[in-house]
A and B are shown apart, each in its own frame.
Chain A
């Protein structure tokens, strides 16, 4: 079966990338000046104490040994303990990463809900007022920094109108969604701008295509032509773009989590980098890299489903 072998192939391709990331993570973190011992103990640490901590953390072993230990522990999921927070890294990731994932998923959904209809409006009324208005609005959206937009939304809808809470994460599933809505909206706006621009161009190209003319010549209803012929073909390139935008989405998540004080993985990453908390930085980087790679795989699969020419 085409699809099964395609998936298998892509999963195999994932492995060298992940290994490479492991090596990069390991090397980069080791290269950071300022060792964790001093970071933990402060400037006035005694040499003896530093040596002792290094031994505890296994930092006195030769580098190759360290890598092997590292690789083994990653494979088993034992990512060590956070130096600053004193809890297992895996646990930290397990609590914080899902929040970020929910945030980005919400943002993605909102972005799609915004981008698709607006792209249609702009494409079908190309050159007219509606088109210029939509494109202009999105140009502005693209130029707006995430933290600025977040701040404004927070002030207007959170502090002033009180429709949404001012930050934090809340309790219980619905409350979580309520808290995450404004940050997700913030993230969604710039993503939807990028998606809309691409989708609009794709729709314009498809609408002029001969097979749409042929579909009309068959006397099909406009709705069918729209959904089955136009949209499906136009989405192909946009799905690819969506996958590529994941990095940007996660960067935005970092800022959004800061502005809205959300206990997600983005903020954890920043705080850990500051504190030289190697185990957390390592673990989180790997987790994020795996996440992103899986997202790529997912978008590839969707593309293959939409376009049979891809999965050869």
Chain B
């Protein structure tokens, strides 16, 4: 994938730079929230209930006197975790299954196609909620639920790519040299097939945050008093008229982080497209 050294190096696309910058900042804040948060996110302060944004509390306080800014910052940890944990398992599982199915073809592929149809047909959120309601609310169960159904999207992408790669000459060369199928799939075909999955992963992480915060809002994801953006928005939903800041700021954080992921994904796609 390294570009030819003779080709003049052009600057990376703006989307990648901006998106990457946002992501980097988000990761740093998520890793070291205490460095950035002025207050403890869980401390109640009855003397400062429902305060509008001010110098002391730049994002105001909520109905328990907790500093909204600190909670938003600490929520970075939770939500960035969600982005990663809710996508990594589907990515890996989906890639493996998709590679095997795409290579095998035949009835495995036909059956796979049916499963994919059924899962995609159905609203994803409803499936996840169904599984979470069985397992019980909480982040870990949410990861499990997403893992159970989310791998399908990656598998579909990989299976298509593997099918294409399989027909190329180097795959035939591998077979002619007597390599085992598994070796061909994972050492030769997959590295070339994986780029669309990586691009999708970026989008998926943005979607994971949306899903995670939706479940947090519904009370099925992160549980209060954990600072998570969806939970925060739910906390503030009854105060929209009087203390809009409780819900509005966490929402902005979601939008910003989501933008970070999708811009990075777009930028990555552009870079990879020109290199192909």
Q: Which residues of A come within 8 Å of B, CB atoms?
A: 16-17, 20-21, 24, 28, 32-34, 139-140, 142-148, 151-152, 154-155, 159-160, 244, 247-248, 250-255, 258, 266, 269-270, 273-274, 281, 285, 288-289, 292-293, 296
Contacts and interface: CB of A to CB of B under 8 A. Distances in A.
A273 B137 CA distance: 13
B230 interface: yes
B240 A33 contact: no
Contacts of B258: 142-144
Q: Which 9 A-B pairs have the closest CB atoms?
A: A143-B258, A251-B125, A250-B123, A148-B251, A251-B123, A155-B240, A143-B255, A292-B121, A143-B259
A250 B120 CA distance: 12
Contact of B125 (A155, A159, A254, A289): A254
A244 B120 contact: yes
Interface string B192-233: 000000000000001000100110011000000000001001
Contacts of B118: 17, 20-21, 24, 289
B124 interface: yes
Contacts of B134: 32-34
Given A285-B122, A289-B118, 19 more contacts: A17-B118, A20-B118, A140-B255, A140-B259, A142-B262, A143-B256, A145-B210, A145-B254, A159-B240, A244-B120, A247-B120, A247-B121, A247-B122, A251-B124, A253-B123, A270-B126, A270-B129, A274-B133, A289-B121
Contact of B123 (A142, A152, A254, A273): A254
Nearest to A281: B130
B244 A155 contact: yes
Given A33-B134, A143-B262, A247 B124 contact: yes
Nearest to B122: A247
B107 to A, nearest CB: 14
Contacts of B190: none
B14 to A, nearest CB: 10
Most A C-beta atoms less than 10 A away, residue of B125, B134, B262: B125
A255 B240 contact: no
Nearest to A148: B251
A250 B214 CA distance: 14
19 contacts: A20-B114, A139-B259, A140-B259, A142-B206, A144-B255, A155-B244, A247-B121, A247-B123, A247-B124, A251-B124, A255-B217, A269-B126, A273-B129, A273-B130, A274-B133, A281-B130, A285-B122, A289-B118, A293-B121
Interface string B222-252: 0000000010010001001100100110010
A148 B121 contact: no
A254 B220 CA distance: 14
Interface of A is mostly: helix
A223 to B, nearest CB: 33
A159 B241 contact: yes
Nearest to A253: B123
B125 A139 contact: no
Contacts of A33: 134
B125 A255 contact: yes
Contacts of B210: 143, 145-146
B263 interface: yes
A21 B134 CA distance: 20
Contact of B121 (A21, A147, A270): A21
B214 A255 contact: yes
B117 interface: yes
A145 B241 contact: no
B215 to A, nearest CB: 10
B251 A144 contact: yes
A304 to B, nearest CB: 19
A84 to B, nearest CB: 14
Contacts of A152: 248, 251
Interface in B98-134: 114, 117-118, 120-126, 129-130, 133-134
Nearest to A285: B122
Contacts of A247: 120-124
A248 B129 contact: no
Most B C-beta atoms less than 10 A away, residue of A17, A34, A147: A147
Contacts of B254: 143-145, 148
Most B C-beta atoms less than 10 A away, residue of A32, A143, A250: A143
Contacts of B130: 28, 273, 281
Interface string B32-67: 000000000000000000000000000000000000
